């Protein structure tokens, strides 16, 4: 008889016999998060090591549940694609999903060549966590571009149009809304949200959102689209999209659609 192997996190062992599905919003355990700020300033290496151990235990417990038939939405192996924006875009482009022209690099020469070719350029972090900015001529100075050696950046064609969030649950579009803002990056200021009836949503955008979810292995996602007068592009598919604000301000029912999916074994 094999020795018993046990994974235990605060008496959660009963989960295996009680549920068929778990909704995984995010793993957390990131030393950059505010809850770890004080400890990280005082003892950074210890905090990094501690969070690595917690993450190892948590991921092991989740995979153990998956091995025993518990469905995890979204599973840990796809939650991480939020910080893999260059791979996301290349994957979507290969699948025929329209995306903006993009250059993710730490090479100043590549940036200058991209800026020469693309008239209107924005830049933003590759792994998220920051806002988009217009690329100005001063950004192409040697001093500014030399900082790419410290951290690569994503440079992207700017598409003027409406910011649209399309929610996909289990391969179907369940809600869509337009984000009302005059800012380059709507997250930088207060904004409103207007519901788009599914009967009014461009069928091509609907198909692209579903294709993006399928290509990236996302049972639940919020697909960010810029819808211009003559074209639309997909910016990314978020593996852990916030939806409460959309339901509250735009009258969508993402929470209900997601709950129904999670409740169905």
DSSP string, the chain: -PPP----SSS-TTHHHH-SEEE-------TTSGGGHHHHHH-HHHHHHHHHHHHHHHHHHHHHHHHTT-EEES-HHHHGGGG-HHHHHHHHHHTT-----EEEES-HHHHHHHHHH-SSEEEE-TTSSS--EE--GGGGSHHHHHGGGTS-EEEEE---SEEEEEEEETTEEEEEEEEE--SSSGGGS--EEEE--TTTS-HHHHHHHHHHHHHTT-SEEEEEEEE-SS-EEEEEEESS---HHHHHHH---HHHHHHHHHH--
Domain that holds residue 149: 102-157
Specify whether 209 is located in the same domain as 167.
yes
Could you read off the pLDDT of 193-245 as tens digits, one per residue?
Answer: 899 999 999 999 999 999 999 999 999 999 999 999 999 999 999 999 999 99
Quote the pTM value: 0.88
Specify whether 67 is located in the same domain as 168.
no
The verdict on residue 10 lying in a domain is no
Specify whether 151 is located in the same domain as 111.
yes
Could you read off the pLDDT of 43-85 as tens digits, one per residue?
Answer: 999 989 999 998 898 899 889 888 888 999 999 989 889 889 9
Specify whether 180 is located in the same domain as 244.
yes
What is the predicted pLDDT for the residue at 80? 86
Specify whether 188 is located in the same domain as 252.
yes
Specify whether 173 is located in the same domain as 255.
yes
Number of domains in the chain: 3
The verdict on residue 115 lying in a domain is yes
Specify whether 91 is located in the same domain as 220.
yes
The verdict on residue 39 lying in a domain is yes
């Amino acid at each position: 008889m094999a020795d018993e192997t046990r994974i235990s996190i605060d008496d959660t062992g009963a989960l295996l016999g009680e549920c068929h599905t778990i909704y995984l919003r995010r793993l957390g355990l990131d030393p950059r998060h505010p809850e770890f700020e004080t400890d990280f300033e005082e003892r950074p290496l210890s905090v990094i090591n501690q969070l690595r151990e917690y993450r190892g235990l948590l991921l092991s417990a989740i995979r153990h549940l998956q091995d025993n038939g518990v469905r995890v939405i979204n599973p840990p192996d796809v939650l991480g694609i939020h910080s893999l924006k260059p791979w996301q875009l290349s994957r979507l482009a290969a699948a025929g999903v329209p995306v903006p022209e993009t250059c993710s690099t730490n090479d100043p020469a590549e940036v200058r060549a991209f800026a020469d070719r693309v008239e209107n350029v924005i830049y933003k972090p590759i792994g998220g966590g920051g806002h988009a900015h217009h690329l100005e001529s001063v950004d192409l100075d040697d001093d500014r571009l030399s900082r790419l050696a410290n951290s690569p950046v994503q440079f992207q064609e700017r598409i003027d149009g409406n910011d649209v969030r399309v929610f996909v649950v289990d391969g179907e579009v369940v809600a869509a809304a337009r984000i009302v803002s005059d800012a380059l990056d709507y997250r930088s200021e207060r904004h409103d949200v207007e519901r788009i009836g599914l009967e009014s949503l461009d069928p091509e955008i609907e198909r692209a959102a579903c294709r993006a979810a399928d290509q990236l292995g996302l049972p639940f996602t919020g697909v960010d689209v810029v819808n211009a007068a003559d074209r639309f592009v997909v910016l990314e598919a978020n593996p852990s999209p916030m939806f409460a604000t959309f339901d509250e301000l735009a009258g969508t029912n993402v929470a209900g659609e997601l709950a129904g999916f999670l409740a169905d074994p």
